[in-house]
Structure 1
């Protein structure tokens, strides 16, 4: 069975690019949560349901994990179930020895590049703050509407706490408090 895993970091982001990249999956699993967190609901369901001969497909390594350590742990979990991992954009297949080797190397390079990007962003923000140009995120830049609004109300009404909601929706806890306040003012909660 072919299991396609797709992920974006926030509820505002769309899965379309990943979904259009591959259409041969028997089952698609999708999460809208940061790749830094290994505890992702659909990733967990997929990994628990793997069987001998299954193939896990991802568009790119960063969709599966941002950390080399987590990537290797997830890959080991896949291999322990006698399944394989295929990465579309790097043409990696862990069913081969060379595929396993490249996965480890590329995973380390991806993590290094992510750390370099984060460092450049921090430096840029520090410079902008020193010049008085950085004002932070625009107020209301993370909106809650449509399916996301319905999901939020469902999780909220089921008693999820602010930390759980923050992780589920990939936003800071302060945003959860703001959403709660606005929805209560509108009479939606």
Structure 2
């Protein structure tokens, strides 16, 4: 009956030390950690490893459920996967223990709030971008493709694949610049 710790932060410049310390104090061994966004479980290799090897009677321990998932759907999928394997989920900083009815209820409530917080953050970001665009401050990302160079190379008779290779861009980007309707292999 292992206690497996999982620590996660969203960006590379954030630190995992506090989470690792709390998980170690909670008796976790091993502790898996990663620096990935929590808005999706896609690409979170350490979490996938835990879910693959966790077994009957084991407990997945996190400091808070927002370290595990930011959407109620992902959270429920993780809890369901744990339940199917006979494992449970606990949080060190929240009264969550999927081995109890109260813990399950609290987990669902916190999951809803975590998703709500993510959606609010996204809305505020979009409002800020709209405001900056209206004020003429936000122009979007600067173009990374030299349109003139693409057209000049095409004028020399060079094909799209070779233009893409020379300029270090995707072939689809070359086609977009040239507005080629029929995508011929060149």
TM-score by length of 2: 0.67
Structure with the greater alpha carbon radius of gyration = 2
Question: Given the alignment of the two structures, is residue 129 of structure 1 paired with residue 130 of structure 2, yes or no?
Answer: no
| Cα displacement (A) at 1:136 | 6.9
| Cα displacement (A) at 1:133 | 4.0
Equivalenced residue count is: 139
Over the residues paired in the alignment, what is the CA RMSD in angstroms?
2.2
Q: Counterparts of 1:90 and 1:122 in 2: how far apart (Å)?
A: 31
Residue 53 of structure 2, aligned match among 29, 49, 62: 49
**Relative contact order higher in (CA < 8 Å, ≥ 6 apart):** 1
Q: Counterparts of 1:22 and 1:48 in 2: how far apart (Å)?
A: 20
- Within 5 A, what are the aligned runs for 1:161-176? none
Q: Counterparts of 1:53 and 1:97 in 2: how far apart (Å)?
A: 17
2:47 partner SS: helix
1:106 partner SS: helix
Q: Counterparts of 1:136 and 1:65 in 2: how far apart (Å)?
A: 30
Q: Counterparts of 2:98 and 2:140 in 1: how far apart (Å)?
A: 42
Residue 33 of structure 1, aligned match among 27, 32, 36: 36
Q: Counterparts of 2:139 and 2:7 in 1: how far apart (Å)?
A: 33
* Cα distance per residue 1:2-49 (max 9 Å; x no partner): 101011223232212322333221101112222123131111111111
2:60 partner SS: strand
* Cα distance per residue 1:60-109 (max 9 Å; x no partner): 11111111011001001111111110122222111101111111122112
Question: Given the alignment of the two structures, is residue 68 of structure 1 paired with residue 87 of structure 2, yes or no?
Answer: no
* Cα distance per residue 1:121-141 (max 9 Å; x no partner): 21122213322444779xxxx
Sort the Cα spacing of 1:12 and 1:96 in 2 relative to 1 into closer, same or farther, 3 A: same
- Within 5 A, what are the aligned runs for 1:1-189? 1-23=2-24, 24-39=27-42, 40-134=44-138
